[in-house]
Structure 1
């Protein structure tokens, strides 16, 4: 099992991960707004779909309709039957309609675990994306309570043999970084007046990895990671 790798859908990132992610574990993608976290997560999701897997994608910030339009521009077909998109964004319409999705998925990790288990009653998902986990974290006021709930979430997903990708906009993600199996960081740099983007793996349990800051771009076809280049900071 440890030698088996699954693709992130981004060849350059797979190379940095020595072949891809180790399945059945939880990983964190962190970065400021606009760095491409959702694009990276969607590559991971679509790689699963292309491999004949069922994928569950929970969007907590970007409404599903917007996500479909934005991702279609990059060539991602979110209407594939193997791809299940749950819109858990707290929009005004949802409060009026008393939609259960937001309450189930965003009102604390315990409810999110229960909601995911409910989805598994209908089909098995080998890949799960929570984008972003930040929204769930904001519902928990006590740090210790959140830590326990987050650990329960990781253990539950592991028992379900699902590979999970979480995104986070918070720069300080100490609890998540400590408990997940791997962390991928996306950063923006101003180098001599030009905006550059860099990707770095800061943690990857159970495997060696490339820890260099590598440049990447968001193109018309999604994210491209240049694993043979290094960002040189002034």
Structure 2
């Protein structure tokens, strides 16, 4: 499915929309993966502020970095976060000073319930069109094992999508904490890399649409993320034609077949072309009879498959 007729949501980065053939498909979940400093949060800020400028309700869920620190860094890059709702699930300073012991239940079981309640309450109240989560890696520690994390994450994403949200979530790409399970659960994957001076962005999965594959150059600066898509040759668009024979002379007939372009200034049809034209039984196989000529004023045609 090409997905060309589906309404899209802009990512806030024009070049990324171009790579995604028009933007994100609404009400799906997309994974942004990469190591530290690759620009995951900055890309998410582009996504949220684009929705805020369009008058959409947006939400930033942060289980790790506190809200005031995110706002400080965002403002230094010129992002206006005034229209974005934050759900700050990061631990407060009091968490360290107030020692809490869990004698019967594990910490994950005790903390999971109130966090879930806060998320559900806030999402129901805000009804966000866009949700950015940084990062899902933090939620792993609320699950007892990999199976429970996968089940809880799938349920969480389905809840957000059912509420009408398009979700962007980040994951820390490392050997110690692999994110293969998240890659399977999400509808799309955007991979960010940073090695030395080179930054790249690549899309490896985009359910419901085509996309431009490959390693696209990326820049992270004071104005946010800049992306430079790989230059591709323009798509060849040509009218399909087939041939029929009338009194030993070929004429155009619209329909499925081959593409034709005037190329060879000869009076005879190129021999041995496997073309879907109709010809009398008396004609020789594999092309036009050598004695046939074109209509007056028409040059010979070379054939290129569409």
Shared fold per TM-score greater than 0.5: yes
Aligned to 1:207, which of 196, 209, 220? 209
Q: How far 1:89 moved relative to its partner?
A: 1.4
Paired residue for 2:6, among 3, 6, 21? Answer: 3
**Where does residue 86 of structure 1 map in the other structure?**
87
**Shift in Å, 1:93:** 3.1
Moved more, 116-125 or 51-60: 116-125
* 1:57-206 correspondence runs (5 A): 57-78=60-81, 80=82, 82-94=83-95, 107-108=111-112, 112-171=115-174, 172-190=178-196, 195-206=197-208
Check conservation: 2:31, 2:189, Cα contact below 8 A: yes
In the alignment, the residues of structure 2 paired with residue 211 and residue 107 of structure 1 have an alpha-carbon distance, to the nearest angstrom, of 41
Structure 2 residue runs of 5 or longer lacking an equivalent are 100-106, 233-306
The Cα shift of 1:107 comes to: 4.3
Looking at CA atoms only, which structure, 1 or 2, has the larger radius of gyration? 2
For the aligned residue pairs, the C-alpha RMSD in angstroms reads: 2.5
| Aligned mates of 1:85, 1:35 — CA distance in 2 | 22
- Which stretch shifts more, 161-170 or 118-127? 118-127
Task: Confirm whether residue 22 of structure 1 aligns to residue 25 of structure 2.
Answer: yes
Comparing both chains, which one has the higher relative contact order based on Cα–Cα distances under 8 Å and sequence gaps of 6 or more? 1
Q: How far is 1:138 from its partner?
A: 2.5
Answer whether contact 1:49 1:83 (CA < 8 A) is retained: yes
Aligned CA distance change for structure 1 residues 75 and 4 (closer, same or farther; 3 Å): same
Question: What stretches of structure 1 of length at least 5 have no aligned partner?
Answer: none
Deviating 4+ runs (over 6 angstroms): none
Is 2:31–2:186's contact at 8 Å kept on the other side of the alignment? yes
Give the superposition deviation at 1:198: 0.4
Length-normalised TM-score, structure 1: 0.85
Q: Contact 1:107–1:136 (CA<8 Å) still a contact in 2?
A: no
| TM-score, normalising length: structure 2 | 0.66
Higher helix share: 1
